[in-house]
Structure 1
Amino acid sequence: MDQDASSRSRIGEVLSASAAEATARSLIPPGPALPAAEMTAVVAELRESAATATDLVLDVMRLPTSQADPVRRRLAAGEILVVDRLSWARANIGAMSAMLDGPVTAVLDRRASESFGKKAPSRAAARASGVELGGLLSYLSTRVLGQYEPFGTDAGRLLLVAPSITATAAKIGADQRDFRLWVALHEETHRVQFAAAPWLREHLLGLLEELVASMLGEESPAERLTGGLSGMREVFGPQGSGRLVDLIQNEVEKDLIDRITAVMSLLEGHADVVMDQVGPGVIPSVRQIRRSFDRRRAESTGLHGVLTKFLGLDAKLEQYRHGAAFVRGVLRQKGHEGLNRVWDDPALLPDLDEIARPRDWVRRVHG
């Protein structure tokens, strides 16, 4: 097999992006009906909120100039997009395809070279996977407010979902301006995290690819993917059980899930702490927003929500919630300057045990 043949992308053989987009397009409900002038103003204010959030996040994190300047340069290479629900779904279809492409292509190439004698993926199976993904994203689209998406492009992109932000602010009775900045702060914190740790994208993607490759196992990749996506829809349904741990088949997968959960816990917990530390001086109604939003936050959203359900990480939700407690525990002992060591090297990331016991991380990293 020549180099070009063996290295070409084969994700389309198990996941039809066109079927996913068509399904999402047909199922995603419209956002609130606003006059054109008002929607234009909302978009402009969200862009302004995202720009304002960068300095606020960097101020809270207290990165030294030697780190903050490279972070700003990396941020400038990325995108900030204010999008509708379908555009958000389309971005996630691209991100999911990018994440799955490596392991899926490797599995299919390996089977071809080893002549397993198993049938090749069918177009019907790829379409079924696409329909399942589109259905899942259509459900999530009304719940997602914003998302930093690191996988679809090299520099990453920040997505702010204007219709859902507007609808959610109205639903919880929040001040619209305050709520827009509050959402932008959370998502911009994620963007800054990846800019402060330029190795983080490849590190997390590597863990995800290794896990997906293991989960595909000896089954048909298309059938396994369709089954996993179908399971996600059941979890998200009204009678959903929140149990996708059956996808985990061995100790290797359990270890990878623990490592991914620890990273997710850190990133989400850190974002929560940063956005709250900005405080009422900048967002007057921040405490009321936090109380109202915490009641709503029963389910994960954004790419994290997709990955959480797809990979069975919902079973680790309790550890995930420990992320903010870990960050606050480190801050009490070492401040932001001490916490910022996590962005220096993958070896300095906390594991799940350290997420639960921040003193252990401080002892290991700071002595």
Structure 2
Amino acid sequence: MNLFRAARAVAGSDGDSPVDWTAVGTAARAGTAPGELSLSAADRAGYADDVADARSRIRTASGIDFELPGSVEVQNRHHWIDANVATFRRLLAPLESGAMVVPSIARAANTGTMALTLGFLASNVLGQYDPTLLGDDDHRLYFVHPNVVGVADALEADRDRFRRWIAFHEVAHAAEFDAAPWLASHLESKMETAVSELTAGHLDRAALGDLDTTMTAVEGYAELVMDRAFDEEYADLREKLDARRREAGPISALVRRLLGFGRKRRQYERGKAFFDAVADERGVAGAGAVWERPENLPTDAELDDPSAWLRRVA
């Protein structure tokens, strides 16, 4: 970690755009320790076996015949930053295209904010299913090994069991997006609308609400199928992880709040409650009807009234 180099990259940001993305990557890497990535043969076999087992068990539990992403990678934190700088840049492209000439001090502030965001996320992300929104069709699955090991040790959890739990959750996302080829473009459209409206100086609450509802369905369904497919009880892992986040220092807590980590947890809980109710009525395969077409997504109101969704979709 080299904070001086990070600050120098931000201070030296240039160009005509509101954000110097090259400087973002440089600063985020400089301000973030990459973490150890010397995998043993057992580690490599463990990741491969967990992903393969998750695919098999989730296919059985969900009734969805899905394929794994074309790329499954075990990364350090710098690898994750490099993979996600391009994603953030594509996502925020409408802001850049609609921007006026940006003063250098504003560009440096924007660049520093994005570098801080990526660095914080790189230090906290355990696994990521990446449908490459706003990009190509080569979906990817990442595991940030130093974070998986570090969090497992901090929770005093068995490393292999914790890694397997993370693998099942991310492969559950792969099942959703493979079952619903329209889902990535649907999310992309909502994001583009929200960002474009911000460019025009408007906050499109409808687009943001639709995006939150869709992500609640995405996270809730993943929790459902992981719950039904995982071959061990995992409530203790969830409880320990939540307790660790609650005990985070004030700066970490503030950053988590600003980045919407609390909202993501609410998405898990609200979405899981919805799909548990649907699965109790129609089975897990019946809950998978949500991915048949965009119109089958639950509305915000239906998330709190699963019976209304069942009546409409049935």
Which TM-score applies when normalising by structure 2?
A: 0.82
1:171 corresponds to which letter in structure 2?
A
Q: CA RMSD in A?
A: 2.8
2:292 aligned partner: 344
Question: After the TM superposition, which of the residue ranges 193-202 and 133-142 deviates more from structure 2?
Answer: 133-142
Alignment pair present for 1:47 and 2:48: yes
CA separation in 1, counterparts of 2:83 and 2:257? 17
CA separation in 1, counterparts of 2:39 and 2:265? 41
Alignment pair present for 1:23 and 2:4: no
2:80 corresponds to which letter in structure 1?
W
The structural deviation recorded for 1:286 is 2.7
1:256 corresponds to which letter in structure 2?
A
* Structure 1: runs of 5 or more not aligned: 1-10, 109-118, 219-248, 300-305
* Structure 2: runs of 5 or more not aligned: 1-14, 248-254
- Residue from 85, 97, 116 that aligns with 2:77: 85
2:205 aligned partner: 254
CA separation in 1, counterparts of 2:238 and 2:268? 18
The structural deviation recorded for 1:43 is 3.7
Alignment pair present for 1:323 and 2:271: yes
Q: Contact 2:17/2:96 (CA < 8 Å) preserved in 1? A: no
Alignment pair present for 1:199 and 2:182: yes
1:334 aligned partner: 282
> In the comparison of the two structures, how many residue pairs are matched?
291
2:125 aligned partner: 144
3-state DSSP of counterpart to 2:49: helix
CA separation in 2, counterparts of 1:318 and 1:291? 14
1:358 aligned partner: 306
C-alpha change, 1:273 and 1:297, in structure 2 (3 Å) is farther
Q: Contact 1:13/1:122 (CA < 8 Å) preserved in 2? A: no
Q: Contact 1:257/1:313 (CA < 8 Å) preserved in 2? A: no
Which TM-score applies when normalising by structure 1?
A: 0.71
CA separation in 2, counterparts of 1:317 and 1:291? 12
Q: Which stretches of structure 1, 4 residues or more, deviate above 3 A after TM superposition?
A: 121-128, 296-299, 306-310, 312-320
C-alpha change, 1:17 and 1:106, in structure 2 (3 Å) is closer
Q: Contact 2:92/2:195 (CA < 8 Å) preserved in 1? A: yes
Q: How does 1:241-320 map to 2 (within 5 A)?
A: 250=203, 253-279=204-230, 282-283=231-232, 286-296=234-244, 309=258, 318=266
- Residue from 82, 91, 109 that aligns with 1:99: 91
C-alpha change, 1:12 and 1:349, in structure 2 (3 Å) is farther
3-state DSSP of counterpart to 1:160: strand
CA separation in 2, counterparts of 1:142 and 1:348? 36
| Superposed CA offset, 1:146-194 (max 9, x none) | 0111125422111111010011111111111111111000011111111
CA separation in 1, counterparts of 2:30 and 2:78? 10
CA separation in 2, counterparts of 1:275 and 1:326? 15
C-alpha change, 1:16 and 1:308, in structure 2 (3 Å) is farther
The structural deviation recorded for 1:12 is 7.7
CA separation in 2, counterparts of 1:298 and 1:154? 37
CA separation in 1, counterparts of 2:183 and 2:256? 16
CA separation in 2, counterparts of 1:207 and 1:308? 22
2:162 corresponds to which letter in structure 1?
F
CA separation in 1, counterparts of 2:47 and 2:189? 32
Alignment pair present for 1:179 and 2:171: no
Q: Contact 1:13/1:123 (CA < 8 Å) preserved in 2? A: no
The structural deviation recorded for 1:316 is 8.3
1:227 aligned partner: none
| Superposed CA offset, 1:280-336 (max 9, x none) | xx33x534323323434559xxxxxx99956x6956864653111011011111112
Q: Contact 1:319/1:356 (CA < 8 Å) preserved in 2? A: no
The structural deviation recorded for 1:130 is 2.7
Q: Identity over the aligned pairs, expressed in percent?
A: 31
C-alpha change, 1:214 and 1:317, in structure 2 (3 Å) is farther
3-state DSSP of counterpart to 2:141: strand
Q: Contact 1:142/1:164 (CA < 8 Å) preserved in 2? A: yes
| Superposed CA offset, 1:120-164 (max 9, x none) | 245664454232111112122222100111125422111111010
3-state DSSP of counterpart to 2:129: strand
Q: Contact 2:54/2:229 (CA < 8 Å) preserved in 1? A: no
CA separation in 2, counterparts of 1:62 and 1:173? 34
3-state DSSP of counterpart to 2:125: coil
CA separation in 2, counterparts of 1:274 and 1:288? 18
The structural deviation recorded for 1:29 is 2.8
CA separation in 1, counterparts of 2:183 and 2:16? 27
3-state DSSP of counterpart to 1:13: coil
